[in-house]
Amino acid sequence: MFSPNVPPVISPSNPDPLVICWAGGSIMYPKARLDALHDGIFSVAMTLLVLDVRLPEDFHPADGGELVRGLAKLWPKFLPYLLSFTVLGLRWIANIQTRSRAEYFNREYVNWWLVYLLLITFVPFSTIVVGRYAALASAIWLYAGHTLLIALINLRIVALTPELERDDHQRRRTTSAPFLGISSLLAIGLSFADPKIALWGLALNFAQPVIERWRYGQPQTD
């Protein structure tokens, strides 16, 4: 139906966006299916994060006060859970922001995108490590190095995305991954001073949605 010599036009007017298509002889992968796996993996990873925030099996509090103290001791695990959920949530939002009007992507894009999803599935692991050993600088390095790598691969994927819109949207899109990268570096830097406060460098990401909304979220009255 499609021959390499007669490349079809790839456009939103293509009637069937779920089937693979050809452009100039190379296979192109449909955005709709890539989005399905992407959203599935984010859903599972974001929900699995909570599995390590739990009270010990042999914890039998005598009264309510003891239970509250037991829950309070989970804070070192709860902060990384909040952090990782925020990092994943902001990555997910950045993903639906960065996508271009292209309906298909080439193999190079798909390869990097798989590496990116591999890093996403690894978030529950590094979250557990930093939740247990936050007092050790090397736990911070693992976690912040991981988020730094996510930011870098994300920038690579954005660079490979075809048909990006060159306007405010474009400018904004490129601030989200660098924000994560810089806060990761800040956490690594702080870990040399005191590992216990290092995660607060990454906690800057809690403020990012508010900043984004303040800068771009409201319709301009122009």
**126-155 positions binding its own copies, by CB under 8 A:** 128-129, 132-133, 136-139, 142
Nearer of residues 9 and 218 to its own copies, judged by Cβ: 218
What are the backbone dihedrals phi and psi of residue 26, each rounded to the nearest 5 degrees, phi first?
A: -110, 145
List the one residue from 73, 75, 118, 207 that touches its own copies (CB under 8 A): 118
Which of 80, 124, 181, 201 binds its own copies (CB under 8 A)? It is 124
Distances (CA, A) of 61 to 71, 105, 106, 139, 148: 11, 55, 57, 30, 40
Q: Contact between 171 and its own copies (CB under 8 A)?
A: no
**Coil, strand or helix: which one is 191?**
helix
Contact between 143 and 129 (Cβ < 8 Å)? yes
Among 22, 161, 182, 203, binds its own copies (CB under 8 A): 22
Indicate whether 122 belongs to the interface with its own copies (CB under 8 A). yes
Nearest CA to 176 among 83, 120, 95?
95
Using alpha carbons, list the distances in angstroms from residue 163 to 10, 88, 91, 195, 204: 11, 25, 20, 42, 31
Nearest-approach distance from CB 41 to its own copies, in angstroms = 5
Provide, rounded to whole angstroms, the least separation between the CB of residue 102 and its own copies.
9
- Of 199-218, binders to its own copies (CB under 8 A) are 209-210, 212-213, 216-218
